[in-house]
Structure 1
Amino acid sequence: MIHSLSLSDVLADHARSRPQVTAVVDGEVRLTYPELDARVTRLASALQGLGVSGGDRVVWLGQNAHAVLELLLACSRLGAVFCPANWRQAADELRFVVNDLTPAVVVWEPSEATTAVRDESAASARWVRAGEEYERLVEGAAAREFPQVDDGEPVLALYTAAFAGRPGAALLSSAALVAHATSLLVVRQMEPGFTFLNNGPLFHVGTMMFCLATFQIGGTNVFTPAFDPEEACRLIDAERVTQAFLFGPMIDAVAKANADGKYDLSSLRFVAHSAEWDGMITVDDSPWCRSKMGGYGQTEVGGMLTFLGLAEGGAGFAGRPSPLVQIRILAPGGSEVPAGEVGEICARGKTLFSGYFARPDLNAEKSAYGWHHTGDLGRREPDGTITFIGPKLRMIKSGAENVYPAEVERALKSHPAVADAAVIGIPDPDWHQAVKAIVTLRAQATEADLLEHVRTLLASYKKPKRITFVDEIPKRGFTPDYDALDETHGGGNYPGA
């Protein structure tokens, strides 16, 4: 085991080498690395007392909190798997996650959706309420020694990609997460004292990858439940935050919230955006920020597979591969296509995931010919850089969230009045794309009826912004003719287009 380095090992070393560094800030909670290490040890002991052992799953149903990082690190110490579920999802979606993962323990924050799922699933898992009950669990456990865990074992599960209308849990090992964090912190040029504001959702790899890179370099992770522009300004000022999870509309909202200059945001070393924004922050000159945080990635590769910052001035707008991976552009039969031709982006290397939880057929398909098949099309340019063309399977990008038409279509078709449904993405000035549904009816129903039905089944960002009723949906074989629907109903702005 002398070559193993788990997340738990990284924490234990930080506790020794960074005894005075603040690891976590969450409201009134401030923990140094030794204090975080001690809490994680007690939490691991408490989870073990609740029956969690190697390979078992622990689920978090709630917003951002330092408990997310603690639970991940405790699972690493036990050899268990931690899943921060999407708290924005409806009860039906969360019910699927709990039934799919069959967790030993669920730590939850009360909401209409989580309470409904808890009432149905309390007998199949131990449910621990976040807050006072969670704190009693941690404080009441005794510290003990844990054997070292193989860093190749899965430790983090993130749900992604709606296969056949339902998502799958991508399993990432400590080895993959440490490798990805190391690659990211090099390209981002993180230094001691780096402080990250976890204001984006931690069930999203875009936030989680920076949380773990900050942890890897021994920096400070600041947690806030969800994005609020005024609170983001306050925390950036108070904690001297270096980076936050921000993109276009969020940046505009923060700039607007600080239009009067009430907060000092100069510690934020971030990408240039607008005259107002650039005047508030320190425009960063790292390869990551110079390239506008560009590249190509997905959950299954730990976050980023390529970085535009490694190929400034290159022909391909996805850049070059992360230092610890290989990329090939493959034809359907597994052969590499020549430069300039389009094929599937395939990868292997240190940051790759361990497969999807309980999806053996899918795992075999996605790892054919010894490469991870991303499901996305790309092209290698003559200078060796990569261009991302777009998903093989259609996807809608709304803000930072991926919306899969099959998932929304499944929800619409579950309404008794809906005979058929197809979902497309339409351009949106603020969120890049919005969801639009084309529906045929077998009984009377209004747009409001269907939107309310979808709202009860899916997260709000997946709900169609508008619905058009038609007599018939054009098909290619058994599937909707999405190109025809785009042309007729204003679709466009898809990722990679």
Structure 2
Amino acid sequence: MSVHRLTLGDVLSEHRRGRPLGTAVVDGDVRLSYPELGDRVDRLAGALAADGVGAGDRVLWLGQNSFRVLELLLACGSLGAVLCPANWRQSADELAHVLDDLTPRLVVWEESEAVEKARSQVSLDARWVRSGEEYEAYAAAGVPLAAEPDVPDDAPVLALYTAAFDGRPNAALLSHSALVAHSMALLHVRQMEDGFAFLACGPLFHVGTMMFTLATFQIGGKLVFTPAYEPTEVCRLIDAERCTQAFLFGPMIDGLVEANKDRRYDLSSLRFVSHSPEWDEMITVDSSPWCASGMGGYGQTEAGGMLTFLGLGMGGAGLAGRPSPLVHVRLLDPSGAEVPAGEVGEICARGHSLFSGYWNRPALNAAKAAGGWHHTGDLGRREPDGTLTFIGPRLRMIKSANENIYPAEVERALKAHPAVADAAVIGVPDERFGQSPKAVVVLADGASATAEEIIEHVRGEIASYKKPREVVFADAIPKKGYTPDYDALDAAHGGGAYPGA
């Protein structure tokens, strides 16, 4: 075992000794100190090992938020196994894909029609344990292992489904060391201090909630879990547990303001971003770089959460700030060469918080790690002051008169038009230029705009050569997963002649 190792289990072990009186988790009637959490994790790891869970095996959580997600993550980590908290809101077909793709050895689940149906659709040799009393009995019966397995800190421990490039998501694998590194960067930018308490009211299958959960764990803070966001309950928990941070964004904040309009709950412990006069009066507006910048930056699950922080580039020209201190970012062209400042290139990165690849996707992993860099699939631009701007996803490139035009950049300009509800850009063959950009536009309900008006708007947003030379109007943009189905758009609107095709 290397003296340089630091796994999530090592962090827990240190907290058991260094914070014996500190509250680790609160979840309903459950309230555990770090030693009590550690004891539960030891027994759970013993139960998992007795069921054959070992290095590289997957354990799946299908349910709402719970402290059990954290203890399962820690127990899996102590065995070299991987926990995947999946989106329990998915359809039966989507859940069946996860089961079939991940092939977990054990599934902890909350009863639902979708889970039951998904279970009937796949042939899976796995132990199923229902969350609640059955889970508690299962964990309590476990016998702690006599010897701690030697788990390297670069071993994957967390899988989160993301990146539906082809309409189906892929499980991004994050290691102990990647999660620790990301936590340390977030601790720095958020200026998390002793006594920090985080309310996990966002979904734990989302990296945004998970990254703050793990950063709070890293610093030995208090984690407060609630099954899902409910405004009155969130207000009550912030008041009762003196929460410092919670997973919140605009509409959720508006819900809290409405739920607490009679000021029955004291939310002043919450050190959060400014939002509205009513909200700012309820909380303590925080001055950390994270909150003062509006909690911005560029991130993705494959980076553990945030790859760049606006808080590290406040006042800069770039809308995504600067990279985390523990990563290295370059903007590369399709040949792998770095583009100069002011030019658009693919955001590529390497460093301590990057993921270990996708589960069971060798070809995709090789493509995403080409040249020794993680290719995010997203486009960005480095500004003259060195800060970064996120442009949008890179799905394909249009080559017009030897100029590179990225559909995502043009789409972003199109969607800035007040009459445009959605838009996609394809390349169509052009005898003079090789290709020219064509926009497919969906107008907002009740709005009107001509093709000429939209083209002129784009000319004002980005370089003139990038503007669409033709605009067609449609009722909807076909999608593949969450992104436009460019193949369908090409077929319907005459796309083709892409470079490299």
Smaller-chain TM-score bracket? 0.7 to 0.9
User: 1:117 Cα shift?
Assistant: 2.0
Instruction: Name the residue aligned to 2:329.
Output: 327
Q: How many Å separate the matches in 2 of 1:211 and 1:425? A: 39
Instruction: Name the residue aligned to 1:433.
Output: none
User: 1:292 Cα shift?
Assistant: 0.3
The C-alpha deviation readout for 1:158-207, integer Å capped at 9, x for no partner, is 00011211110000000000000010011100011101010000000000
Taking a change above 3 Å as real, the CA distance of residues 202 and 335 of structure 1, as seen in their structure-2 partners, is same
Q: How many Å separate the matches in 2 of 1:270 and 1:252? A: 14
For residues 252-401 of structure 1, the aligned pairs below 5 Å read 252-393=254-395
Q: How many Å separate the matches in 2 of 1:330 and 1:463? A: 22
The DSSP-based 3-state class of the residue aligned with 2:61 is strand
Q: How many Å separate the matches in 2 of 1:373 and 1:2? A: 32
Alignment check: 8 A CA contact 1:316 1:386 kept = yes
Taking a change above 3 Å as real, the CA distance of residues 8 and 424 of structure 1, as seen in their structure-2 partners, is farther
Normalised TM-score (structure 2): 0.81
User: 1:312 Cα shift?
Assistant: 1.2
Taking a change above 3 Å as real, the CA distance of residues 341 and 52 of structure 1, as seen in their structure-2 partners, is same
Over the aligned positions, Cα root-mean-square deviation in angstroms equals 2.8
Instruction: Name the residue aligned to 1:23.
Output: 24
Alignment check: 8 A CA contact 1:118 1:127 kept = no
Q: How many Å separate the matches in 1 of 2:50 and 2:87? A: 26
Q: How many Å separate the matches in 2 of 1:208 and 1:179? A: 14
Taking a change above 3 Å as real, the CA distance of residues 424 and 366 of structure 1, as seen in their structure-2 partners, is farther
Q: How many Å separate the matches in 2 of 1:463 and 1:319? A: 25
Q: How many Å separate the matches in 2 of 1:238 and 1:200? A: 18
The DSSP-based 3-state class of the residue aligned with 1:375 is strand
Instruction: Name the residue aligned to 1:231.
Output: 233
The C-alpha deviation readout for 1:321-354, integer Å capped at 9, x for no partner, is 1000000010100000111111000000000000
Taking a change above 3 Å as real, the CA distance of residues 29 and 426 of structure 1, as seen in their structure-2 partners, is farther
The DSSP-based 3-state class of the residue aligned with 2:212 is helix
Normalised TM-score (structure 1): 0.81
User: 1:426 Cα shift?
Assistant: 7.8
Alignment check: 8 A CA contact 1:438 1:473 kept = no
Q: How many Å separate the matches in 1 of 2:55 and 2:108? A: 18
Instruction: Name the residue aligned to 2:38.
Output: 37
Q: How many Å separate the matches in 2 of 1:215 and 1:437? A: 47
2:222 aligns with one of 220, 223, 241: 220
Q: How many Å separate the matches in 2 of 1:31 and 1:153? A: 27
User: 1:478 Cα shift?
Assistant: 11
User: 1:380 Cα shift?
Assistant: 0.8
Q: How many Å separate the matches in 1 of 2:318 and 2:244? A: 29
Q: How many Å separate the matches in 2 of 1:178 and 1:427? A: 44
Taking a change above 3 Å as real, the CA distance of residues 31 and 463 of structure 1, as seen in their structure-2 partners, is farther
Amino acid at match of 1:362: L
Give structure 2 stretches of 5+ with no counterpart.
Answer: 396-406, 413-421, 425-439, 446-473
Q: How many Å separate the matches in 1 of 2:338 and 2:105? A: 43
Instruction: Name the residue aligned to 2:469.
Output: none
The DSSP-based 3-state class of the residue aligned with 1:183 is helix
Paired residues in the alignment total: 427
Instruction: Name the residue aligned to 1:474.
Output: 493
2:179 aligns with one of 177, 180, 186: 177
User: 1:475 Cα shift?
Assistant: 4.5
Matched, 1:88 2:89: yes
Alignment check: 8 A CA contact 2:442 2:476 kept = no
Taking a change above 3 Å as real, the CA distance of residues 463 and 162 of structure 1, as seen in their structure-2 partners, is closer
Alignment check: 8 A CA contact 1:24 1:31 kept = yes
Amino acid at match of 2:196: F
Instruction: Name the residue aligned to 1:482.
Output: none
The DSSP-based 3-state class of the residue aligned with 2:169 is strand
Matched, 1:438 2:457: no
Amino acid at match of 2:82: V
The DSSP-based 3-state class of the residue aligned with 1:476 is coil
Matched, 1:141 2:142: yes
User: 1:119 Cα shift?
Assistant: 3.5
The C-alpha deviation readout for 1:200-247, integer Å capped at 9, x for no partner, is 000000000000000000001111111111110010011101010000
Instruction: Name the residue aligned to 2:467.
Output: none
Q: How many Å separate the matches in 2 of 1:73 and 1:327? A: 30
Taking a change above 3 Å as real, the CA distance of residues 363 and 108 of structure 1, as seen in their structure-2 partners, is same
Taking a change above 3 Å as real, the CA distance of residues 222 and 425 of structure 1, as seen in their structure-2 partners, is farther
User: 1:383 Cα shift?
Assistant: 1.1
Which of structures 1 and 2 has the bigger CA Rg?
2
User: 1:474 Cα shift?
Assistant: 2.7
Instruction: Name the residue aligned to 1:52.
Output: 53
Taking a change above 3 Å as real, the CA distance of residues 366 and 313 of structure 1, as seen in their structure-2 partners, is same
The DSSP-based 3-state class of the residue aligned with 1:438 is coil
Identity among equivalent positions (%) equals 66
Taking a change above 3 Å as real, the CA distance of residues 130 and 437 of structure 1, as seen in their structure-2 partners, is farther
Q: How many Å separate the matches in 2 of 1:123 and 1:4? A: 34
User: 1:147 Cα shift?
Assistant: 2.1
Taking a change above 3 Å as real, the CA distance of residues 150 and 282 of structure 1, as seen in their structure-2 partners, is same
Instruction: Name the residue aligned to 1:241.
Output: 243
Taking a change above 3 Å as real, the CA distance of residues 341 and 171 of structure 1, as seen in their structure-2 partners, is same
Alignment check: 8 A CA contact 1:439 1:473 kept = no
The DSSP-based 3-state class of the residue aligned with 1:347 is strand
For residues 91-102 of structure 1, the aligned pairs below 5 Å read 91-102=92-103
Taking a change above 3 Å as real, the CA distance of residues 340 and 173 of structure 1, as seen in their structure-2 partners, is same
The DSSP-based 3-state class of the residue aligned with 1:138 is helix
